[in-house]
Amino acid sequence: MPEQVPVSRAEQDRARYEPLTSSVRRLIDATIRSEADEQAVRQAHALIDQAVALLSSRLMPGSFGLRHDTDGNPMVWGNVAIGLRNAIAPPLRVHHQGGRAWAEVTLGAPYEGPPGQVHGGVCALLLDHVLGATAHRPGAPAFTGTITLRYLRATPLGVPLRTEAWVDREEGSKTFALGQISDHDGVVTVRGEGVFIRPG
């Protein structure tokens, strides 16, 4: 018999909620793009209401907030940019390399602003998050002080986008970060700069 490997509660929860959330992401997309007939839409609606009732049989009060797994690792599973359990989050997976923070993501129909384009506010969400990631320190998350975004050209839906940021300079608890979003051809569509503050 294979050896039994103990599985932590956080791993169990991840295995349960990550695929569920992926399905909810597909549902958000299909709700926008469906051209199914009236009966199918009505049936789908009833199924969704049943799913809500099942999941709501026990709900945590308030928002997910910041929780920790049994090893003390932070879980921000409700976060709108990166949250494992937040179907609004693409989710962004932020990597750190050589002083840079970066994330690659393809955004579909649910992130639309102008037809066929990513909404300017969603570009702001990506850049705010990745710019801020340059300023976080273990146990000392940084808050956005100021952010400025310059929209150079349209950011297209449906192609891989790269959002990256780096530290320009630091002054005490303030980090001045620069960043950009570039499209699948490497063309920069939005430039951003931000000041992030670690409360002391």
Other beta carbons within 10 Å of 36: 12
Sites for a copy of itself among residues 147-166 (CB under 8 A): 147-151, 157-158
Candidate segments 95-103, 120-128, 159-167, 179-187, binder of a copy of itself by CB under 8 A: 120-128
Looking at beta carbons only, is 137 or 143 nearer to a copy of itself?
A: 143
Using CB under 8 A, pick the residue from 140, 143, 184, 187 that binds a copy of itself: 143
The number of residues that bind a copy of itself (CB under 8 A) is 85
Taking the C-alpha atoms of residue 60 and residue 21, their distance in angstroms, rounded to an integer, is 17
187 binds a copy of itself (CB under 8 A): no
Taking the C-alpha atoms of residue 85 and residue 76, their distance in angstroms, rounded to an integer, is 9
Taking the C-alpha atoms of residue 8 and residue 100, their distance in angstroms, rounded to an integer, is 31
Smallest distance from a copy of itself to CB 57, Å: 5
Using CB under 8 A, pick the residue from 14, 100, 145, 188 that binds a copy of itself: 145
**Residue 68: exposure state from Cβ atoms within 10 A (0-12, 13-18, ≥19):** exposed
Question: What six digits make up the tokens of 153?
Answer: 């050209």
Smallest distance from a copy of itself to CB 171, Å: 17
